[in-house]
Structure formats: structure tokens, C-alpha cells
Amino acid sequence: MTETTPSLRPRPRLRFAPSPTGSLHVGGARTALFNWLYARHYDGDMLLRVEDTDKARSTEESTRAIFEGLLWLGLSWNEEVVYQGANLERHQRDALAMLETGAAYRCFCTPEELEQRRSEAQAARESFKYDRRCDRLPAEEVARRVAGGDPYVIRFRIPEGSTEWDDMVHETISFPNKDLDDFVILRSNGTPIYNLAVVSDDIAMGITVVMRGDDHISNTPKQILLYRALGAEPPTFAHLPMIHGMDGKKLSKRHGATAVGDYQHQGLLPGAMLNFLALLGWSPGGDREVMTMDEMITLFTPDGLQRKAAIFDPKKLEWMNGQHLSRVPLAELEPRVTPAMMEAGYVDEAIVDSRGEWYMSLLDLLRVRARTIDDIVRQAGPYFPGTIEYDAEAVANNWKERSSAADILEAAKEALAGDSAWDAGTLEAILRGLAESLGISAGKIFQPLRVALTGLTVSPGIFEVLVAQGRELALRRLSDAIGWLRRNP
């Protein structure tokens, strides 16, 4: 048998179909990403459908928040956005078409009658299923009741047998049809039931692959039956695992920030968020974790999709952000950090413009130890003119003997005050030379110096700190520290 060459394979068409009843959450963003990655990997399209048929719960504000979240993540969609609510007429036409072919029937049972039968079944400890009594109504009676204006719903008649599909994640899933109820497809007010709207739209949009959360597995047999009744080929399904919090329970507000917008406003890098989301239910194999978008596109195949629930670990997200912070091109990082640096009062447009090269190298220095943009800003103080605080622990550990610390700093200040070059190599030579002439280890100079320059026990390499501060500021920090030590013996 010859395999179809890729160019002859139909372009896959996927869709992300959020209900606009809240902002874009981690689960939705993960689903959008997987659809997007699949579409990109197989050179297909991902469409966006807003499932706004639930008028009471859908809001324009949510729709906007979803667009904004997707755009922030860079998950663009192909073609015009489809609004499910605008397709009411087609949904109705499809329901009527199934009436015509006999795949569906009118049901005149009132909600009260159904409720009564349901409670009777419950009392008898039987599961309730519609008993098809309206399917047995003679055609004349149906015609008479329709003409008389009796309200009715349209029900789908579940055929005999079983319904199965080859799920991309779960392999074969099979449902005995006897477990399915003759479900309503069109309400008495003419509005479609969810499963009909989804199938009608997916057919109209030419969707070939449906990827969604596995909470939809129970809808799938009904949807497959609808496809067949409408004479359409069902798509391939992939049901993605649920996302749980660290406590193993389904992710919810209790677990803290779950809206994508929250992370956007915290200054998370979209690339880190995408990378983190990609690992919620997919693995590229091996222990590979940190990936760029292009790498994810290349690696994203269904064999990496996982069944077991994914765990949302906020610490891992922060770690991932740290990984991306130190890898993204500086030019991409800078516009994300600068607003926060401005807000903290460290820089303004003039500094960013006039000392651009210096500013970029400072960001490059600070990002190494940062997991968030805030971490970068938090570490930035020592490199700008304002005074710094000395961390109590740093003082206790590295300025233990105040007067000898002050002496060492005096000596360092003197050694650095000349007009030698101000680069890491020269500075290292000067300070190591000083240690030698004082007959002490280099660490005995570096540690007190670090506290003087940054107020902290941990910082970038001491020579890099000196270079980033520049001679003038570094010497001033040394004088300040000496003054402090002398005042607090």
C-alpha cells in the first residue's frame, strides 16, 4: 500500500471553541494552544468559534478577554471569528433535516410530565430515559398537534448498536447506544441544544480534528451520531486530560490565579506561559522541558499526548518563566521590563535612550537570577543612584568585625579610585592584587565589598557589579558603607 504523500493529505482544520462566560483560563488556553500547535505542525488552520448561544451567561466582556488572552499568547486564528449564536437558522435547518429523514422526531411531552416520570423512576431506583412515547404517535396526530400550535421539542432517535471512535489520546472509546437517551436537539422555543450547535458548526466550518477537554467525552457519542444523521464524516477526536491543582482536585479559583490575564498583568513572559501550558497533557519525550514556540511546533505530535490528569504547579510556572527570562533575546525582554522599571522610578525614557547599551547590559546581568520581571526590578536598586539598605543577614555574616570591614573597604576604595580601565578583567586584577598585598584571601575582600555595593549576600559576580555601577557610583557606595560601619561600630 502506498502512503498518501503529505502534499495530498487534506489540510487539517481545527478550532478553539470557548464559551464566553468568563475570562480565558488556564484550561482553555491549554486547549487553544494544543489546537494551534497541531494546526501549525501539520500545516493546517485553527479557527476560532465563540460559543455564545447561552445568552444569559455569555458576555461581550468575556469575549474580549478571551481574544486579548489569545493575542497576548500569540495564538492567532485563521479566518473570521465564528459566532455560534449567529448560526441559529442553520442549526434549525439541520434539526428539521433530521426530522425529514426520520433521524429525529417531535416530542410533545411537557416539562412537568417529564419531571413527574423522572421522579417516579428515581423512586423506583431506575435510571430515567425518555420512553419514546411521542415517537409512536400516529402521523395524523402529530400533524394535528403541530397545526393546533402545541409546543414541541425535536428529539434525536438513538439508533441500536454502539458508537465508537479512535481517540487520539485514549485510543478506542466505545459507548453502548442503549445507555444514551433520545436527547433533545431543538427546544420548543426553536433554539438548538449544545450538541447540535457544535456539530452543525463543525460541519459548516469543515473541522477535521476536534481537540478539547476530556470532560466532553460523554458528548462525543451523541455528536458522532449527529454527524452521521446529517450525512457528514465525523472528525478525529482528541480528548485532553483535565488540569488539577497541586492537591489533585480539578483546577479552580481556590488554587489561586488561573486566568491567563492575571499572569499577563504579573509580567509573565508569554513564551514561558505557552511552554508551561504545553506540558499540561503533552510531553515532547525524554526530559525535555524548556522550548521555544518553534521547537514546540516541530515536536508537537499526538504520540506525546497524555491521558493522566495534568498538574498545575505555580512554582514550576515561575521556574519556567526564569528559564525563558534568561533565554529570550534582550530586545524582546527590554520592552516588557522597562515599564516596571519606570514605575519603580529607576529609569525614564531619557535614560533608556541615552544609556541604551549600559541599560541592556544591566538587564542582561539581572535576568540571570530572576524568575519574574519583578525580580529584575527588585535587584535593580544598587545600580541606580539612590541609597541602598543593608540586609541584616548580609551585615551579620560579612561585616562581622565592623572596623576591619571598614579598613578593607577603605583599601578597596583607594585601589579602585585611580584612572585604570573599568572592565571586569582589570578590576579583578586590581582586587586580587590588593588581597595579596594585604595577605588575605580574595573572598575576604569580595564578600564585604558585595554588601557595600549591593546590600546583599547574593548578587551577580562582583566585577560585573562594579562594571554595571560604574566607577563613580561604586566609589560612592564604598564611602557610604565605610561611613555606616564607622557610625555603627
The residues that are catalytic are: 253
Of 17 and 82, which has the nearer Cβ to ligand GLU?
A: 17
The answer to whether 310 contacts ligand GLU (rule: CB under 6 A) is: no
Cα angle 464, 465, 470; round to 5: 100
Closest CA to 16 of 81, 85, 89: 81
Given a contact cutoff of 8 angstroms between Cβ atoms, the answer to whether 460 and 366 are in contact is: yes
Q: Binding of ligand GLU at residue 52 (CB under 6 A)?
A: no
Q: Which residues contact 206 (CB under 8 A, 6 or more apart)?
A: 13
Distance spanning both ends of the chain, measured CA to CA: 88
3-state SS, residue 259:
strand
Considering only 12, 13, 14, 18, the residue that binds ligand GLU (CB under 6 A) is 18
Tally of CA atoms within 13 A in the half-sphere of 460 that contains its CB: 23
Of 186, 181, 180, nearest in space to 95 by CA: 186
Q: Determine if 20 is a binding residue for ligand GLU (CB under 6 A).
A: no
Q: How far is the CB of 468 from ligand GLU (least distance, A)?
A: 48
Taking the least distance from each CB to ligand GLU, the nearer of 170 and 216 is: 216
d(CA 182, CA 222): 10
Considering the rule CB under 6 A, would residue 51 count as an interface residue with ligand GLU? yes
Q: Which of 13, 25, 30, 212 binds ligand GLU (CB under 6 A)?
A: 212
Q: Does 216 bind ligand GLU (CB under 6 A)?
A: yes
Between 19 and 92, name the residue whose CB sits nearer to ligand GLU: 19
Question: What string marks each residue from 92 to 121 as x (binds ligand GLU by CB under 6 A) or -?
Answer: ------------------------------
Question: How many chain residues touch ligand GLU (CB under 6 A)?
Answer: 8
Q: Is 163 exposed, middle or buried (0-12, 13-18, 19+ CB in 10 A)?
A: buried
Region of 12-20, 156-164, 173-181, 430-438 interacting with ligand GLU (CB under 6 A):
12-20
- Interacting stretch for ligand GLU, rule CB under 6 A, among 14-22, 156-164, 354-362, 457-465? 14-22
- Give SS3 for 105: strand
Of 17-25, 149-157, 237-245, 335-343, the segment contacting ligand GLU by CB under 6 A is 17-25
- 453 in Cβ contact with 365 (< 8 Å): no
Is residue 222 near ligand GLU by the rule CB under 6 A? no
Residue nearest to ligand GLU (CB): 212
Distance CA 79, CA 76 (A): 10
Nearer of residues 277 and 416 to ligand GLU, judged by Cβ: 277
Secondary structure (3-state) at 185: strand
Task: Output 219 or 326, the one with its CB closest to ligand GLU.
Answer: 219
Q: Which is nearer to ligand GLU, 48 or 395 (CB)?
A: 48
Which position among 14, 17, 39, 293 is part of the footprint of ligand GLU (CB under 6 A)?
A: 17
Residue of 13, 19, 48, 168 that binds ligand GLU (CB under 6 A)? 19
Q: Judged by CB under 6 A, which of 37, 198, 373, 406 binds ligand GLU? A: 198
Closest distance between ligand GLU and the C-beta of residue 210, in Å?
6
Query: Measured between alpha carbons, how far is 181 from 446 in angstroms, rounded to an integer?
Result: 76
How far apart are CB 204 and ligand GLU at their closest, in Å?
Answer: 14
Of the two residues 198 and 260, which places its CB atom closer to ligand GLU in the complex?
Answer: 198
C-alpha to C-alpha distance for 306 and 344, rounded to whole angstroms? 43
Query: What distance lies between CA 295 and its chain's CA centroid?
Result: 17
DSSP characters over 298-352? HH--GGGB--SPEE--HHHHHHHHHHHHHHS-HHHHHHHHHHHHHHTTS--HHHH
Stretch that binds ligand GLU, among 97-105, 208-216, 318-326, 409-417 (CB under 6 A): 208-216
Binding span for ligand GLU by CB under 6 A among 66-74, 147-155, 210-218, 317-325: 210-218
R_g of the chain, CA atoms, integer Å:
33
Site string for ligand GLU, 151-190 (x = CB under 6 A): ----------------------------------------
**83 membership: H or E segment, kind and range:** strand 82-83
User: What whole-number distance in Å separates Cα of residue 27 and Cα of residue 280?
Assistant: 9
Q: How many CB atoms lie within 10 A of CB 438?
A: 14
Tell whether residue 32 is a contact of ligand GLU (CB under 6 A).
no
Note whether 382 binds ligand GLU by CB under 6 A.
Answer: no
Chain positions contacting ligand GLU, by CB under 6 A:
17-19, 51, 198, 210, 212, 216
